[in-house]
A = this chain, B = another copy of it.
Amino acid sequence: MPRLRPFDIRPGRGDPDGEMAPPLSHTIEIRVRFGETDPYGVAYFAAILDYFKRGMDEFLRSRGLSPDLAYRNPKRNYGFPVVATACRYRAPVRFDDLLMLRTRVVRVEGSGATFGFSLFRTEAGKDILAAEGRISCRSIDASWTPIPLPAEFINILSAR
């Protein structure tokens, strides 16, 4: 498989792509569910990645794209699997907390796109950053060979 440039998440630097135009973003609410905690009552770290995926689904839907078709379109011999994830956990969130998840596009290039996520909980009227991370996906054909991102998908990810 060709290489994607590695991404790292630099704490405290803000969005590394922040110098450019402000990124597209979409925000949803997430409720921490009973089955998503670890034995100590804190949301399981792998569940946080699952929240990010939901944010990505809803971001795509907000741009007019069905998540199902975005991730695989057998008729077009096309898939868009996750190839990399990264997450930093800043503060614990617990069963039944109501969270705010902001999803944005941080990079679109060649065959890949990277989404960025910031998860907040609210305490005493202040938003506390609970986790931040990224998910990178790549366009592939039916043999899992990378292919350029479809033009209309680039438009959907970039248009304002």
Contact = CB atoms under 8 A, between A and B. Distances in A.
A121 to B, nearest CB: 14
B84 A85 contact: no
Interface of A: 1, 3-4, 6-12, 31, 33-35, 37-42, 44-47, 49-50, 53-54, 57, 66-68, 71-72, 79, 81-92, 94-96, 135, 144
A33 B54 contact: yes
Nearest to A37: B39
Nearest to A90: B1
Tallying the copies of this chain within the complex gives 4
A56 to B, nearest CB: 9
A45 B57 CA distance: 14
Contacts of A50: 33-35, 46
A66 B79 CA distance: 27
A92 B81 contact: yes
